[in-house]
Structure 1
Amino acid sequence: MDNAKLQQHAIAAECFVEVPFFDLDPMHIVWHGNYVKYFEQARCELLRKIQYDYPQMKASGYYWPIVDMRLKYIKPAKFGDKLLCVATFKEFENRLKIDYVIQSASSGEKLCKGYTVQVAVTTTDFEMQLVSPPILGQQLHQFIQAQ
C-alpha cells in the first residue's frame, strides 16, 4: 500500500464536540488554541478506527510527535455550538499527515480546517525515523481489507 492507495479509500473518523463555556475567549468565541484540542479528539477517533491509537503506538516501540500543524480559521464557534470534527488520513509512508475539518453540526458550515504532520521516533532513544514503521501501513492495510 502507498499514499495513492490511501487517498482512494479516504479513511476518516468524526467526533462531536459541544463548545463548553471554558473554551471561550474574552470575545465570547472559541479561543483559537482550543481548535487544536478538537483536532486531537478527532485524531484519536481516527487512530482508534485502525487500532493504532497512542497506547498501541507506544507498545509498538514508537512515539509519534506532531512536528507540523496548520489551522485556518473560517468562522468562529460560540458557547453551546455543536461541532462536527472530521479527521482524514492523507499520508503515511514517510510521515503521518492527517487533514481536519471542523464544521457546525447543524448547518454543515465550515468553521476551521487544517492538518497535522507526525513522525515516528523510537521510544528507546527518540531517534526520528525517515520512513514510517511498517506497523502503521499494516494497520491501515488491515482496516482497508476488513471493509
Structure 2
Amino acid sequence: MRSKGVLHVDTEILVPFFDIDTMHVVWHGHYVKYLEVARCALLDHIGHNYTHMLAAGYAWPVIDMQLRYVRGATFGQRINVRASLVEWENRLKINYLISDLVSGERLTRASTVQVA
C-alpha cells in the first residue's frame, strides 16, 4: 500500500502474556521483535525478503535502530505495526509506527537502517 509516496504495510499483533514485564507492560526489548515481524511483512510485500537477499549474496544487516516509546502496550492489546519504506537506493530505511489497533493511539515510533 502507498500513502504520500511511501510504501507501507500494516501488521496486527495481539500482545502475548510472555512479552509482559513486572510493570504489566510490554518489556522494551520485545518491541524490536514487533518491528522485525512488520519488516518481514514489508519485505515480503515488495518481493525482496531475507531469503531473496541471501540468494543474491547479501545479508542486509540492521546497522542502526531508533525507538521512541510513548506509552506501553499491555497483555491482550491488539496493536498495529506500520512499516514504511522511506529509502531504498543505497540502503533500506524503514520507519515504524506502533499504535493501538482500536483507538489508533500512538505507542511507539521507530526506524531501522540496513545496508548490503
With the length of structure 1 as denominator, give the TM-score of the two structures.
0.75
Is 1:71 the counterpart of 2:67? The answer is yes
Match of 1:17 in 2: 13
Match of 1:34 in 2: 30
Choose from 85, 95, 100 the match for 1:104.
Answer: 100
- Relative to 1, partners in 2 of residues 1:7 and 1:67: Cα closer, same or farther, differing over 3 Å? farther
SS in 2 for 1:112: strand
Q: CA RMSD in A?
A: 1.4
Gaps of 5+ in 1: 1-5, 121-147
In the aligned structure 2, how far is the partner of 1:110 from the partner of 1:8? 19
Shift of 1:7: 8.8
Structure ranking higher in strand proportion:
2
Match of 1:145 in 2: none
SS in 1 for 2:11: strand
Match of 2:48 in 1: 52
1:82-102: CA deviation from partner (whole Å, max 9, x where unpaired): 000000001112211000000
Match of 2:81 in 1: 85
Structure ranking higher in helix proportion:
1
Shift of 1:9: 2.5
Shift of 1:105: 0.2
| Moved beyond 4 Å, runs of 4+ | none
